[in-house]
Structure 1
Amino acid sequence: MPFSSDTSRASGASRISAKRRFLVFGFATVLTLGMLKASANDEPGTEADRLDINAMRLSFDEDFTSLDVSAWGPGTRWIAHTPWSGDFGGARFADPGQRTPFSIEDGMLKIEAKRDPEGDWQSGLLASMDPRGNGFAQQYGYFEMRAQLPDGPGVWPAFWLIGKDRSQSTAEIDVIEFYGDKPDGYSSVVHVWHRDGRHYSRFHRNNVFEDARPGDFHTYGVRIDRDWIRFYFDRTFVWKTETQEEHRQPLYILLNLALVDGPTKDEAPDPSHMIVDYVRAYRLD
């Protein structure tokens, strides 16, 4: 998102700072040659932007009647960390086990952020690909999560995609980043983190919670083809931006309840919960 004195945009810098440590191949700084730009393509959607689920084929369906997760794989549908071994934010992403942040209730996933017995924050992340490249990834298509978001300052839930090939750059699509201290909406961002330090990004602020509530169930989706990346809220078109070459590859799924690594972390409700009904992907053919 753009560098700005606008607090809603400045809060996104915390995620960018966190990603620098883990996504930019060890570079200490990022040369923001591409700059962070707001999309110019936020006009009302055309017929081509309309979402038609019936014209797609379901390719990934996680309904959370159970949860198949391990710390790092292999052989499970999800792992509990980013595959590049880097976690981020103000809470440690915990392994499944005695202190697991994951539970299944009424056929839904609950991710819990709380302080552990030592007083440190822990929470949960799921990724659909393990460090060896095993798991679900898909080139193009529609990706969707139906979820309830937590309330309160410091909470930072997200649903996002990462390109499978990170040899020269990291392609990232943030379908939703929600900051609990700015409850009127959420951010969607498209990134390319280049190995030489260049950074491309397009940002859009979706002020959808003036009428709706983040604590209610909503769907958050993105449709990707060769030319456009289109974003949807409750299956209604929100905005689009041009597909970059780096995003024309298989992308895998991540979802998490993080905490902002800053002063608001200490104000976050303990515990906080993100409830996920399902995560799905569809092929455009």
Structure 2
Amino acid sequence: MRQQGSTVREWLARFVPRARTWPPPPAVPRFTADFASAEQWVAGRSWAYPGGGPTNPGDNKLDHLSPDAEYSRTGTFRATRRPDGNWDTGLLTTEGSPGGFTVRTGDILETRVRLPVEGGAWPAIWTWRDGGNEIDVFEYHPDHPNLLELSNHVRGGLRYYTHPSIAPGARVTLKVEFGRRSVVWWVNGVRVFADGRGVGRDWCAYLIVNLSVCAGRYHPAPDPATTSMSYEVDYLRVFAGT
């Protein structure tokens, strides 16, 4: 006597097409950073700094923003000591650029960076618009060699992420999803923080990539013998969320 289950399986095999699994189509970024592009990026100026720059001492920075290509346009962000005690520093932003690119709610940013080794270095990738809308993809200070700062300043939320793979001179991959209800960070392929607060429905902001220099209030200023520092951004891409 044939079992009813076998009959059903035979019928399904005969009349119902076998399910196929296809690899997902490759994700196409809606923004791929070309740091040399004057269409995408403005160098040496940001309204996140008082008056658009070039200095920001109130934020404990020795920065004197430089528009010179050697400080940012190659993807290596540099800083060099000035005679006046400040530092010429590299900063790029999409704010004010012809392209005017903004990150939006739901977008996912991916990047890989080489962290600086010099004390006093303060690298960051972050967002900014209209006096706020700030999400810090990361901040780093070599005096805390194994720690990244991951911050949502829009609705609050901060994680100090520590791991041996975070170190001066190390290459680190980061991914951030700017979710409506939660901003989520991945570091070197591992999900490390979901703030549970998000950015809201209509959030958008410009990108900033820069190397600042600490003035000594929160982190040590550079050693007097240090005259230059740098960090690298190997790539930066933004994908539309699903």
> Would you call these one fold, judging by a TM-score over 0.5?
yes
- Please, which of 248, 260, 265 is the counterpart of residue 221 of structure 2? 265
Shift of 1:245: 5.3
**Deviation above 6 Å: which 4+ runs of structure 1?**
none
Please report how far the alpha carbon of residue 54 of structure 1 lies from its aligned counterpart in structure 2 after TM superposition: 6.5
**CA distance in structure 2 between the aligned counterparts of 1:228 and 1:137, rounded to whole angstroms:** 19
- In terms of Rg, which structure is larger? 2
Determine the C-alpha separation between the residues in 2 that align with 1:94 and 1:247. Answer: 35
Change (3 A) 1:103 1:191: closer
Q: Unaligned regions of 5+ residues in structure 1, if any? A: 1-52, 70-75, 193-199
Quick one: which of 54, 60, 64 aligns to 2:31?
60
Query: 1:78-130 deviations in whole A, cap 9, x for unaligned?
Result: 11221351453112111126xx42353xxxx2111111355531111111121
Instruction: Judge conservation of contact 1:171–1:246 (CA < 8 Å) in 2.
Output: no
Are 1:171 and 1:247, in contact at CA under 8 Å, matched by a contact in 2?
no
Percent identity over the alignment is 23
CA contact (8 A) 1:90 1:262 kept: no
**What are the residue-to-residue correspondences of 1:91-240 with 2, within 5 Å?**
91-96=63-68, 100-102=70-72, 104=74, 109-116=75-82, 120-130=86-96, 135-139=100-104, 140-162=106-128, 164=129, 166=130, 170-192=132-154, 201-208=156-163, 210-240=164-194
- Contact kept in structure 2, 1:112 and 1:273, CA below 8 Å: yes
Structure 1 letter corresponding to 2:42: I
Asked whether the 8 Å contact 1:158–1:176 carries over to 2, the reply is: yes
Instruction: Report if aligned partners of 1:224, 1:243 keep a CA contact under 8 Å in 2.
Output: no
How many residues of Structure 1 are paired with residues of Structure 2 in the alignment?
A: 206
Question: Which residue of 244, 252, 256 corresponds with 2:206?
Answer: 252
- Residue equivalent to 1:35: none
Cα RMSD (Å) of the superposition?
2.6
2:47 aligned residue: 83
TM-score for both structures, normalised by structure 2: 0.74
Secondary structure, in 3 states, of the residue corresponding to 2:96? coil
AA matched with 2:223: E
CA–CA distance in structure 1, aligned partners of residues 32 and 175 of structure 2: 14
Whether the aligned pair in 2 keeps the contact of 1:153 and 1:179 (CA below 8 Å) is yes
Checking the alignment, whether the CA contact within 8 Å between 1:57 and 1:284 is kept in structure 2 is: no
